[in-house]
Amino acid sequence: MSNDSTPAMVPPLPMDRDDFRCISKAGFGDGWNHYAHCMAWFEGHLYVGTSRAILAMIKVNDPPPALTHWPINSPDDVYDIDRRAHIWRYNPRDETWKQVFISPMVKGRTEEIVARDIGYRGIAVYQGPRDCKPCLYICTWSSSKGQPPVIMRSEDGLTFESLPRPSWGEFVNTFRTLVPFKGCLFTTPTGSTAGYGKAQECVGGAPIIYVCKDPMSGDWLEASLPGFGDTNNLTTFEMHAFNGHLYAGTINAEEGFQIWKTAANGEPPYDWKEVVTHGAYRGNLNEIAVSMCELNGALYIGSGIVNGGYHRIAKVGPAAGEIIRLYPDDSWELIIGNPRLTPDGLKFPLGHMGPGFDNFFNGYIWRMFVHEGTMYVGTFKWTVLMPFIPLDKWPDPAQLLVEIRGVDELVSNNAGFDLWRTTDGIHWGPITRTGFENMYNWGVRTMASTPYGLFIGTANPFGPEVAEKTEDGWQYQYNPRGGAEVWLGVPRKK
């Protein structure tokens, strides 16, 4: 029986563009902080780890993207840049930022003194058996000349210690996922290097998942077979706890990503079951399972292709990312993407949009996060590179768009990441399709749901100086909107 005097429970409304405001820009005042690469809410503060000089690093890598002019002013030797990654802390009560950590300089594998950490790609709050309370655990990213990456730990968010790393090989230079599950911490290498200019930030070379109950002990064990027994699985890229299982997604340039799950019973290595194969039957255009997120009892999985939508070495793509959702019974549905006939039935996109939210340039569905019952999905979009791309080398969809809209119009109205929201996976609304009106924000790299709202960290590698077209040709100029940004979304009263 209804009681009119009882206030109705009003669910929070999904946020729109006007609910978001920028709380940090230009790479925390240093344009070489290109990515706000990871975020965590810990003891009343937001922690943000940065990654440095991404476009400078890509410039010296082999093979570099075929650009007619390099978009930022960066030296020929990336080590001429201060590459020490930062950790910043935000206090939402007085709206202040504090730098709480900067990478030390260490002797690298070439005996040169280099930054130990050039980025922090992953972060988790976890309590091991010797932790008196939940602590911060952070994945580091090391340079080609540096030592393999370590795991950092902090009890108070101010002091950070490095812990023994898993026994992965010397070629591993980065990892990005730390997932607490059943009282253990799981991780897997996601990047490797064969020397200067020969780094692959998404291909780990040792596709093994490691598990550890007590990270302080360094006693990491192998939790899976290499590549789950499939040599085409180059890397285990993303993991997520869901439905009493740990789910893991691979990079597979031959056949498309695979999704595996385990209940992690018994001793490692555990029994794993393959639940999605062949990139959900799109093949290698769904090369990577990039992102995962649970909403309403289903696991959403966003896809992509290495290097932002075009895997140059493997010659995969270009193409935009898709979203599927997976149920506990291992059935799945296509949410955003291209229709197809599969052994699991006819699939067409229930969200009624093609890959990349109907945008060819959205190369990754990069991050997904639920805040107050709404899922927010951010992309990586490479439209901002269009002025630097020799278009005759690109496929028909890109050329057709340029013919219709022109490069200038495309960049001004389409550059910058997409951020979408949904409460059911079927109905979607765009929050921004232009990186919060900053074309240099080419990706949503990290998010954190907190009592103070939804924080979003951007990938923005267009600082400190960006190429601007002038009457005298391309010239590098200071870019006040270059470098990672942090945005805060708080629902207004409606």
Summarize as ranges the residues that interact with other proteins (CB under 8 A): 281-283, 285, 337-342, 345-346, 348, 352, 354, 404-405
Looking from the CA of 247 toward its CB, the CA atoms found within 13 Å total: 26
Q: How far is the CB of 356 from other proteins (least distance, A)?
A: 12
Q: How far is the CB of 248 from other proteins (least distance, A)?
A: 23
**8/404 with CB nearer other proteins:** 404
**201/333 with CB nearer other proteins:** 333
Q: How far is the CB of 277 from other proteins (least distance, A)?
A: 12
**149/351 with CB nearer other proteins:** 351
Q: How far is the CB of 84 from other proteins (least distance, A)?
A: 44
Looking from the CA of 252 toward its CB, the CA atoms found within 13 Å total: 27
Both tokens of 441, joined, read: 């924000």
**345/390 with CB nearer other proteins:** 345
**266/345 with CB nearer other proteins:** 345
**409/437 with CB nearer other proteins:** 409
**98/340 with CB nearer other proteins:** 340
Q: Count CB neighbours of 421 within 10 A.
A: 19
| Cα–Cα distance measured from residue 483 to residue 203, given in angstroms and rounded to the nearest whole number | 25
Region of residue 313 (left: phi > 0; alpha: psi -120 to 50; beta: else): alpha
Cβ(321)–Cβ(357) below 8 Å: no
Query: Residue 47 pairs with which residues in a beta bridge?
Result: 40, 89
**10/346 with CB nearer other proteins:** 346
Length of the chain: 494
Q: How far is the CB of 425 from other proteins (least distance, A)?
A: 14
Both tokens of 284, joined, read: 């290698």
Q: How far is the CB of 353 from other proteins (least distance, A)?
A: 9
Q: How far is the CB of 431 from other proteins (least distance, A)?
A: 17
Cβ(362)–Cβ(371) below 8 Å: no
**17/405 with CB nearer other proteins:** 405
Q: How far is the CB of 251 from other proteins (least distance, A)?
A: 18
Q: How far is the CB of 359 from other proteins (least distance, A)?
A: 13
